[in-house]
Chains A and B, each alone.
Chain A
């Protein structure tokens, strides 16, 4: 019985290790951390495999691994927060926050100008057609073309096209000739 369980799990382990590992790497963890979190995830599944109605059903098993991976990731982020380490998930926020802190020339006037600029950027993104807006949002957030294609149930080429059009529209709307010098890094190629 134990051997049967182990054999079944081994097959499912090999199929799902890459998925869980990929998830952790894509959400900002180093490879070593991702490997350890993946093991934690699959250990969690191993312990509760008896709860599965049909462990041989691969979709059910994958669902179980996905849920476990989310839980493990959330726990890890909480743990890191509690010991005040860097949190991969918030790297984007941190960068923005740090850049704000580094900016010693800030003033109420500049803050007001920044708020206005932020508002205009948000407005411009919101005015994009829905699919263009979603694609460019995920792209700016750091998802790959492939990930976005998967999320939008379309092809990578279609995503590239959506993003290309969205970038052009944003440039036209947001960046005047006067600010051309600053434009390059904003929505340029990654």
Chain B
């Protein structure tokens, strides 16, 4: 390392330390007040100290209030150069304010924007076609999907015909029937209107029904709903849409709910 570097580093370190003592960088207002001799005497010395610790502010002050650059200086600008700059500025202003159409000024460093502007025209056309296609296909699919859903909703809101009605009795040993599932429902047909018969079980403030898949690796609750209403004939109606249950064995579990407690009242085994 050269000794010049050492001195430069020392000055740099000194400036860094000094900044914490002299406070923030002088504002433009303060600089001009200092330059115009408008600061009180004690502030003048302090400002000089601040400038020694903020050389960039000193440079700003020099550039704006010092003597103009001479032709041999690196920051010298000829009258012609200023005039050219002014014409360029006017063009830019006119363009920005919409008086003269023209390419937008490129922001420095924006490689993406630069690339986009330098791309061949066919890319632009292809991009527009692609966007139109994507939007069109999306719109079409969305419309189709929306129409289908609307039709289904209308159908569901209307009278349902052809629902197969079954009355399900609770599981348990039945005379002559063993433990076989109470109901076998063809999976391909449906929908089903099931009536779950409970019998003379105790009344509960609320009831819950779970539909549990019992085959293939343990029970799995597929659907659950509370707030069921027990009808006067001690039954619970259940509408099972077509295709809701795939082939397999299921158990419908009916619970009575009171406070935080629940009691299993009946199960109904169904095989699709």
Contacts and interface: CB of A to CB of B under 8 A. Distances in A.
B52 A126 contact: no
Given A38-B85, A66-B64, A133-B52, A140 B58 contact: no
22 contacts: A17-B82, A20-B63, A21-B75, A25-B75, A35-B85, A38-B85, A39-B85, A39-B88, A39-B89, A43-B96, A46-B89, A121-B10, A134-B49, A137-B15, A137-B53, A137-B55, A141-B15, A143-B62, A146-B66, A150-B61, A182-B3, A184-B3
Contacts of A4: none
A92 interface: yes
B14 interface: yes
A143 B109 contact: no
Contact of B8 (A140, A150, A152): A140
Interface string B50-83: 0111011011111111111100001101000010
A6 to B, nearest CB: 8
A112 interface: no
A36 B69 CA distance: 19
Contacts of B6: 114, 117-118, 121, 186
B74 A151 contact: no
A21 B9 CA distance: 28
B56 A89 contact: yes
B2 interface: yes
Nearest to B37: A153
A161 interface: no
Interface in B79-108: 82, 85-86, 88-90, 92-93, 96, 108
B52 A134 contact: yes
Interface string B18-50: 000000000011011011010000001100110
Nearest to A79: B109
B135 interface: no
A96 B89 contact: no
Contacts of A27: 56, 59
A95 interface: yes
Range, interface on chain B: 35 or more
Interface of A: 6, 10, 13-14, 17-23, 25-27, 31, 34-36, 38-39, 42-43, 46, 59, 62-63, 65-67, 69-70, 79, 83, 89, 92-93, 95-96, 99-100, 103, 114, 117-118, 121-122, 125-126, 130-131, 133-134, 137-138, 140-144, 146-148, 150-153, 182-188
The interface residues of chain B, by DSSP majority, are classed as: helix
A99 B51 contact: no
Contact of A23 (B51, B59, B82, B96): B59
A25 B76 CA distance: 9
A43 B90 CA distance: 10
A45 to B, nearest CB: 11
A70 B28 contact: yes
Contacts of A126: 14
Given A66-B32, A134-B49, 8 more contacts: A14-B82, A17-B82, A21-B77, A62-B32, A95-B8, A141-B15, A141-B55, A153-B35
A163 to B, nearest CB: 13
B126 interface: no
Contacts of A130: 45, 48-49
Given A26-B75, A70-B28, A141-B11, A186 B89 contact: no
A8 to B, nearest CB: 13
B223 to A, nearest CB: 54
B60 A96 contact: no
Given A62-B64, A122-B14, A96 B32 contact: no
Given A23-B64, A66-B28, A70-B28, A151 B48 contact: yes
Given A39-B89, A79-B108, A118-B13, A96 B52 contact: no
Contacts of A183: 3
A138 B52 contact: yes
Give 6 closest A-B pairs by Cβ, nearest first. Answer: A23-B63, A186-B3, A134-B52, A151-B58, A25-B75, A121-B10
B153 interface: no
A93 B55 CA distance: 14
